[in-house]
Amino acid sequence: MNVAMELINVNKNIGKKHIIKDLNLSIHKGEVFGLLGPNGAGKTTTIRMMVGLMKMTSGDIQIEGHSIRKDYKNAVRHVGAIVENPEMYPFLSGWKNLKHYARMIPGITDERIHEVIQLVGLQKAIKEKAGRYSLGMRQRLGVAQALLHRPSILILDEPTNGLDPAGIREIRQYIRKLAEEEDVSVIVSSHLLSEIELMCDRIGIIKNGELLSVEDVKDSQDDEENTELSVTLNVSPLKEAMEIVSSFPIKSEGEHSITVKATREQIPDIIKSLVQADIQIYEVNVEKTSLEDKFFERIGENTIA
Amino acid sequence: MHNFIALLQNENMKLSQRISTWIMYAILLVIILFGAVIEFFSESVTTTEVDDNWKEELRVETANLEEMNEEDEYMYGMFTDEIAINNYHIENDIKPLPYDAWQFTMENAGLSSMISLFTIIIAAGIIASEYRLGTIKLLLIRPISRTKILLSKYVTVLLFSMIMLLFLFISSMIIGSLFFGLNGLNPTIVQMSVDGPKETSIFGEIFTQYGLNMINLVMMATFAFMISSLFRNSGMAIGTSIFLMFTGTTVVAMLSNYEWAKYILFANTNLNQYMGNGVPVIEGMTLGFSIAIIAIYYIIFLVVSWLAFTKRDVAGA
Ligand SMILES: Nc1ncnc2c1ncn2[C@@H]1O[C@H](COP(=O)(O)OP(=O)(O)OP(=O)(O)O)[C@@H](O)[C@H]1O
Ligand SMILES: [Mg+2]
């Protein structure tokens, strides 16, 4: 697999605080990589180091084979990014904002600017001042700005932050499109699994500055047979039902319901034995445990360290 | 070089798209106009053609001045220069010219302190506002060194002040001509110099005055630029710079008994103290000394700006 970006033993201290701890990570060409972690985990700090806004205390980041420490210009040339919010010059029009960044890299023609405007669907508003844009529009202008120079790596810090569901879906669609059609590697960060699960190929879980694990999203979705499911049973009487399902690991108990872990194969058996015991079944709810659970298993309580 | 010009274009685009920049030009224009109106209705200014009888009139005027200069307890010694200049006119048969656009423009050299103020505001904002808006994060992730970006901002500040000075000169000439007329293309004027009154080209005099004011302007703008780079906050940069600009010379005057006061920047920025019959703020100071002190401060301001801008993390912006 081709590597687009590699983080090697990256550490960051600010004052006495050890903010990023020995981060090792490879981003493959053309993949969408999610950086998932609670507030204060170190996602933004990591991204700032990737683009050279912050210096790392030790370690290195290689972008397309160029070290961001030693060969900054050649490394950053391959990167387009939005760090935290998509901040634009409010007194400049959308077009002038893009023109501003286009001037900073040789070889970006006006046609290319039109092209990215088209790509993010901002044609109508491009002459308006960016200060009048909605958050969604600014997010798009931010993505347009990041794509101007055809980077091979696109970094978006919390791209779904503050967007409505339609906006999130749209972002998801063109991130996938970029990865699949233009072979761009995309790094997205988020503190909500549900918002990035559907667009990522892999997700790295980060907490307190440590990379806890990297999960393959496809794996956990494809492997239907053996996936653990949470089965929530709304039954009466609850006590007797609990005895019957006691052979399954219990995840949680509600006032009228119980949730157990089981595979798809086992669900009919559970229902059959409940029916045979004359237990009233009002509702059976099946959910994939998959990443969501792995996520919470890993990070535990969503606390800010 | 190509991308440095592109950076200058960017900075100038950002300046010119802000209304506040244009308000500065408008304010300056209004002040010039206002000055012209006041001058126009003031009685001490002769704008009419001087008649053949001028020597006699000037003698009478000079005699009056001499009387005040020697006897009036409040105005004692105030008119020594003016008397000398008048006598020089009479002795050398140089007919005094009526007040005109050239003299108006020369007097307006004082308005360069207004331009200093505006330049300080621009210098203070040009770095700090990128941090305030958060755009610094997009500005610094391009394949261009931070040094180059900083330099483009600094050059933009200097360009702004030059253009403002040019604007002051040109609008003073135009407004001056409309109100007072113009005595030819390069009239002369009698001014005090180191060895008494001397006839000089007024254009040269204007050039010197504007040029000398430029030093103070550039130093204050560079100071504001440094504070802006150091604290990433324009309010603080504007505040400290303007405070120093207004109190600097006073503080130096208060401390002028101490020898070390001559190392204070403000003891040196006014090079007029070495021109004409000026007296140095502190005894023993020379033009060369002042230029050296100014240069040292200037280099310190620039190095601090550069270190603060290029060596530090961009965090939490
Ligand atoms: N300039 C700084 N000085 C001191 N500590 C800092 C600084 N910047 C970040 N931190 C600390 O580093 C940690 C990681 O912050 P970071 O912004 O990277 O988190 P994040 O994962 O992006 O969180 P969020 O989801 O809230 O955006 C936090 O504990 C924060 O307090
Ligand atoms: Mg963050």
pLDDT digit string (tens) for A147-193? 999 999 999 999 888 788 888 888 888 888 888 887 899 999 998 88
Between B185 and B246, the higher pLDDT residue: B246
Shared domain for B148 and B242, answered yes or no, is yes
* Residue B230 confidence (pLDDT): 93
- What ipTM does the predicted assembly reach? 0.83
Q: Is residue B245, in this structure, part of any structural domain at all?
A: yes
* Residue A289 confidence (pLDDT): 61
Shared domain for B213 and B300, answered yes or no, is yes
- The verdict on a CB contact (< 8 Å) between A73 and B9 is no
Name the burial class of residue B258, with classes exposed (0-12), middle (13-18) and buried (19+) by CB atoms within 10 angstroms of its CB: exposed
Average the pLDDT over B280-292 and give the result. 86
Quote the ligand 1 centre to A68 CA distance (angstroms). Answer: 21
Q: Which ligand is nearest to the CA of A209?
A: 1
Q: Is residue B317, in this structure, part of any structural domain at all?
A: no
Residue percentage of chain A with pLDDT more than 90: 51
Average the pLDDT over A17-22 and give the result. 93
Q: Is residue B239, in this structure, part of any structural domain at all?
A: yes
Considering chain B, what is the average pLDDT of its residues?
86
Nearest to A54 among B6, B134, B313 (CB): B313
Q: Is residue B165, in this structure, part of any structural domain at all?
A: yes
Name the most confidently modeled range: A145-159, A234-248, B55-69, B233-247. Answer: A145-159
Q: Is residue B252, in this structure, part of any structural domain at all?
A: yes
- The verdict on a CB contact (< 8 Å) between B140 and A53 is yes
* Residue A303 confidence (pLDDT): 44
Testing the interface with A: which of B23, B137, B309 to mutate, by most A Cβ within 10 A?
A: B137
* Residue A304 confidence (pLDDT): 40
Shared domain for B82 and B116, answered yes or no, is no
Indicate the pLDDT class of residue B317, thresholds 50, 70 and 90: low
Shared domain for B25 and B9, answered yes or no, is yes
pLDDT digit string (tens) for A64-97? 999 999 999 999 999 999 998 889 999 999 999 9
pLDDT digit string (tens) for A21-37? 999 999 999 999 999 99
Shared domain for B71 and B205, answered yes or no, is no
- Contact predicate A176/A32, CB 8 Å: yes
**Considering its fold, how many domains does chain B have in total?**
2
Q: Is residue B123, in this structure, part of any structural domain at all?
A: yes
Indicate the pLDDT class of residue A305, thresholds 50, 70 and 90: very low
Quote the ligand 2 centre to A84 CA distance (angstroms). Answer: 6
Average the pLDDT over B83-91 and give the result. 77
Q: Does residue B159 register a pLDDT over 60?
A: yes
Shared domain for B157 and B180, answered yes or no, is yes
C-alpha–C-alpha distance, residues A182 and A224, integer Å: 30
Q: Does residue A212 register a pLDDT over 50?
A: yes
Indicate the pLDDT class of residue A102, thresholds 50, 70 and 90: very high
Residue percentage of chain B with pLDDT more than 90: 43
- Contact predicate B292/B207, CB 8 Å: no
Shared domain for B66 and B128, answered yes or no, is no
Q: Which domains does chain A have, with CATH numbers?
A: 3-222 (3.40.50.300), 229-288 (3.30.70.980)
Q: Is residue B74, in this structure, part of any structural domain at all?
A: yes
Domain final residue, candidates B71, B96, B121:
B96
Considering chain A, what is the average pLDDT of its residues?
88
Shared domain for B206 and B107, answered yes or no, is yes
Q: Which domain holds residue B58?
A: 51-96
Q: Is residue B316, in this structure, part of any structural domain at all?
A: no
Give which of B69, B54, B171, B45 is closest to B114, Cα–Cα. B171
* Residue A298 confidence (pLDDT): 63
pTM for this entry: 0.85
Closest CA in chain B for residue A45 = B315
Between A236 and B99, the higher pLDDT residue: A236
Shared domain for B289 and B260, answered yes or no, is yes
A vs B: CB pairs below 8 A:
82
Name the most confidently modeled range: A109-123, A240-254, A285-299. Answer: A109-123
Beta bridge partners of B109: none
- Range of weakest confidence among A289-298, B60-69, B257-266: A289-298
Shared domain for B92 and B225, answered yes or no, is no
Chain A positions with Cβ closer than 8 Å to B: 14, 45, 48, 51-55, 72-74, 76-77, 79, 81-85, 87-92, 96, 99-101, 103-106, 145
Shared domain for B65 and B88, answered yes or no, is yes
Shared domain for B88 and B148, answered yes or no, is no
